Structure 1
Amino acid sequence: MTAPPVVPAPARALRRKAGTPRPEVGKGDLGIALLFIAPAALGLVTFYLWPTVRGLYLSFTEFSLFGSPELIGFDNYVAIAQDALFWNSMKVTLWYVVLNIGFQTVIALGLAVLMHRLTKSGIIRGSILLPYLIAPVIAALLWFWMLDYQIGIVNSFLEWSGIGRIAFFGNESWAIPTIAFVNVWKHMGYTALLIFAGLQTIPTSVYEAAAVDGSTEWKTFWRITLPLLRPVLVLVLIITVTGSFQVFDTVAVTTGGGPGNASRVIQVYIVERAFERSDFGYAAALSAVLFVILAVVAWAQNKFLGGNESDLA
């Protein structure tokens, strides 16, 4: 007698379930999903969408704390186009962005590659992130005291070495580079961590093939690492450039926009018009202009740097 063929357990289970109606997936889950989404949606509407709509409305008004908004059309935007302080603040902000992003990206990329290629120590990787964990105001005050012209340890060392003291925050030429340096020190660890996460997605087989072909570390970096890291670098640039245009706390704590208008970045100017001059309509128009600039810059970065393209695909 011939024994019946043995059917594997998964196949038997599939045979038993054959012909039975499949349960509907997702039926009745919409209410539960909306319940979980509701807190985040409420926060988005309350703290982002409504203030944005309100701000756009106020940008077409003349409004102070002592009266009601009065519609004036595009007068605020016409005044912005003729405002010398606005154009100066944009020039100062752009100079800060160039310095901050240039140094921060290069240093963070170098740190990320070193972490990826040379060390697996969690302590070393964590220590790079420590400056980012310090509150922005605390970090600004720390460097403000260290770079103080009279009692700062940095100026004491410069005088001892024969270079001479430098008014880092009190000199028009040094103010923005110094503020950029402080924020590079604070944020480069976080930027390096983002780039390091991107490096983790590159297969090791690519580097092994390059080593077999006799590629040096320098050629591997330029011809393999950078091209494969492009989508992550574009994302990092969008995040850091957007954040750099909105710098405020470091300037407010150290120079307050001075000396003169040397460090009066656009965010400081917006706050001054709103809370010192009580011109909330004009400040809202400045904020709207900044929003449009950042949207265009982010779109251009993603479009022309190929943020949606990847050589790993």
Structure 2
Amino acid sequence: MTISSARPAAPAAATERRGDGRTAALFLAPALFGYLAFLLWPTLRGIYLSFTEFSLLGAARWTGLDNYRRMIGDPVFWDSLGVTVQYVVINIGVQTAVALLIAVLMHRLTRSTFLRGVVLAPYLVSNVVAGIVWLWILDTRLGIGNEVLEWLGVGRIPFLADADWAIPTIALINVWRHVGYTALLIFAGLQSLPQSVYEAGRMDGASEGRLFRSVTVPLLRPVLALVLIITMIGSFQVFDTISVTTRDGGPAGATNVLQFYIYDLAFGRLQFGYASALSVALMLLLAVITLVQYRLMRAGRSDLD
């Protein structure tokens, strides 16, 4: 009797597992469709087009590696890459330093939810809106920012109309918008650090600065690596802020970043094949940079292990 009564449980459990699998598939289907239709397929299509000459006016013509040979000899591409690297260095350097400072201050002084909301508020503003607002603020003739500078005796500065000021200004605009989100990521990492390590350091007479250098930064390395990878990828893809503030990559090509050059080639000159080749090159560059960052910062291992 005991054996016969236990046998029906196995088919019921199997049926339940099959039902759970169908439910999971149902919930995953929209996301999977979106991934296939809007990410994987465009990526594969773009890789194919990078080996062709295609302008929407006819069928794609296979040209092999011609687009990549053209890219190597294209001075505008190298200039755009240089401008992009300049933007990335300023954006990541300032954003990481300021975000780390904000996160440490929030962790040590206050953990107010309201304060976190204030810090995150600029991130909720779209890049286009942020670009328009700062375009008005920094306008050379009518912007309130230049009015304040003139009142202080500094004089008016053409932030977005001067080749030397344009990229640093755009980088700092995006720092203002994204630094709150970055700070909250670091703040979450700080909350996971054990307080016993800090207590032991204080008992040994370590100052706050020494604790920060020798305890906080090493233990926070995996979080910092994640933050740097995210901000690096996002920074190399900057487009909308430049499109709003300088419109054409000016002045004199000073803000003609790689993404803007790709956009101009594809939708301004209808050179979709060559634009696709530059996009593939950017994708490979980001993959290499991400891998190097991951390995150098040992992002997969923590000093707590």
SS of the aligned residue for 1:112 comes to helix
2:266 is matched with: 274
Of residues 145, 148, 155, the one that matches 1:154 is 145
CA distance in 2, matches of 1:72, 1:190: 44
Which residue of 2 is the match for residue 47 of structure 1? 38
Using the size of structure 1 for normalisation, the TM-score is 0.91
Match of 1:109 in 2: 100
Tell me the secondary structure at the aligned position of residue 17 of structure 2. Answer: coil
1:30 matched to 2:21: yes
Moved more, 53-62 or 29-38: 29-38
* Paired position in structure 1 for 2:47: 56
Deviation track 1:72-130 (CA, whole Å, cap 9, x = no partner) reads 11100000000010000000000000000000000000000111111021111210111
CA displacement, residues 194-220 of structure 1 (integer Å, 9 cap, x when unaligned): 101111110122222222222211111
Question: Aligned to 2:197, which of 190, 197, 206?
Answer: 206
Equivalent residue number for residue 175 of structure 1: 166
- The aligned counterpart of 1:6 is none
TM-score by length of 2: 0.94
Correspondence list, 1:66-145, <5 A:
66-145=57-136
Q: Deviations over 1:102-159 (max 9, x none)?
A: 0000000000011111102111121011111111111111111100000011111111
Q: Which residue of 2 aligns with 1:217?
A: 208
The alignment covers a number of residue pairs equal to: 296
Name the CA distance, whole Å, in 2 between partners of 1:187 and 1:245. 14
User: Equivalent residue for 1:297?
Assistant: 289
- Aligned partner of residue 180 in structure 2, secondary structure: helix
Rounded Cα–Cα distance in structure 1 between residues aligned with 2:284 and 2:90: 22
For residues 223 and 190 of structure 2, the distance between their equivalents in structure 1, rounded to whole angstroms, comes to: 9
Distance in 1 (CA, whole Å) between partners of 2:21 and 2:117 is 41
The within-5 A match list for 1:225-236 is 225-236=216-227
Counterpart of 2:188 in structure 1 is 197
**The residue matched to 2:158 in structure 1 has which SS?**
coil
Give, in angstroms, the shift of residue 66 of structure 1. Answer: 1.1
Residue 261, structure 1, aligned to residue 253, structure 2: yes
1:20 Cα deviation from its structure 2 partner: 6.0
CA distance in 1, matches of 2:28, 2:157: 53
Residue from 237, 242, 259 that aligns with 1:251: 242
Counterpart-to-counterpart distance in 1, 2:289 and 2:202: 38
Amino acid at match of 1:307: A
Output the CA distance in 2 between the equivalents of 1:161 and 1:109.
30
Q: Which runs of 5+ in 2 are unaligned?
A: none
- The structure with the largest helix share of the pair is 2
Percent identical pairs in the alignment equals 54
RMSD: 1.6
Of stretches 160-169 and 257-266 in structure 1, the one that deviates more from structure 2 is 160-169
Letter in 2 for 1:202: L
C-alpha distance in structure 2 between counterparts of 1:184 and 1:175, whole Å: 14
Once the two structures are TM-superposed, the CA of residue 36 in structure 1 deviates from its matched residue by 2.1
- Write the distance in 1 (CA, Å) between the matches of 2:22 and 2:36: 19
Could you give the per-residue CA deviations for residues 33-91 of structure 1, whole angstroms, max 9, x where no partner exists? Answer: 22222111111101100000000011111111211111111100000000010000000
Structure 1: distance between partners of 2:178 and 2:213: 24
Partner AA of 1:44 in structure 2: Y
**Structure showing greater Rg:** 1
Q: Give the AA of the match of 1:133.
A: L
Distance across 2 between alignment mates of 1:203 and 1:153? 46
Q: Alpha-carbon deviation of 1:304?
A: 1.0
Residue 163 of structure 1: CA displacement?
A: 1.4
Aligned partner letter, 1:306: R
